[in-house]
Amino acid sequence: MSGLSPLDRFNQLSDEEAAAQLLAVCHSRRWAKEMAAGRPYADLAALQRAADEVWLGLGPEDWLEAFAAHPRIGEAGGASADWSRQEQAGVGGDTDVQERLARGNADYEARFGHVFLISAAGRDAPEILAALTERLGNDPATELRVAAEEHRRITRLRLERLMAQ
């Protein structure tokens, strides 16, 4: 498969290999399986459109499965730790903000039953803390939709990185 673009190589993978790569991006087994079955994709835009459509067609149980793989904001770990470290590059620094993020994460998880998700790329810790604080005021149904939208954004960024390898 030498000389092929990353997308062309991806399109030529077996369903199982493609699903494994996609699972590392999104952490929803159903999403990964449906995306792998939708190949070949003509270009990155087509891949991204399909990713959005499949994600938005999933239900809360699939979203929660994907959320569970994410580390808490400001912490390393979880199934998506490598991706998350890059995405959360702006979160380090101020100890006070880090402590407030840790408390906010705990409050959020107690209220909503899943990790706080935010597309952290390009955001610093105070911006993330402000979003976390604001979203604690959401009702559970609203927050599930907000977290799913944030996860959709995270997935788009990760797909871009996967296709750039």
Residue with the two structure tokens 């699939």: 62
> 136-145: which pairs have CB atoms within 8 A and are 24 or more residues apart?
136/104, 136/107, 136/108, 136/111, 140/111, 140/112, 140/113, 143/112, 144/60, 144/63, 144/112
Residue type, 89: A
Output the CA torsion 30→136→104→111 (10° steps). Answer: -60
Nearest CA-CA partner of 32 in 50, 5, 6: 50
Quick check: is 27 catalytic?
A: no
| Active-site choice (27, 70, 114, 151) | 70
User: Can you tell me the distance from the alpha carbon of 88 to that of 137, in angstroms, rounded to the nearest whole number?
Assistant: 23
Please list the active-site residues: 70
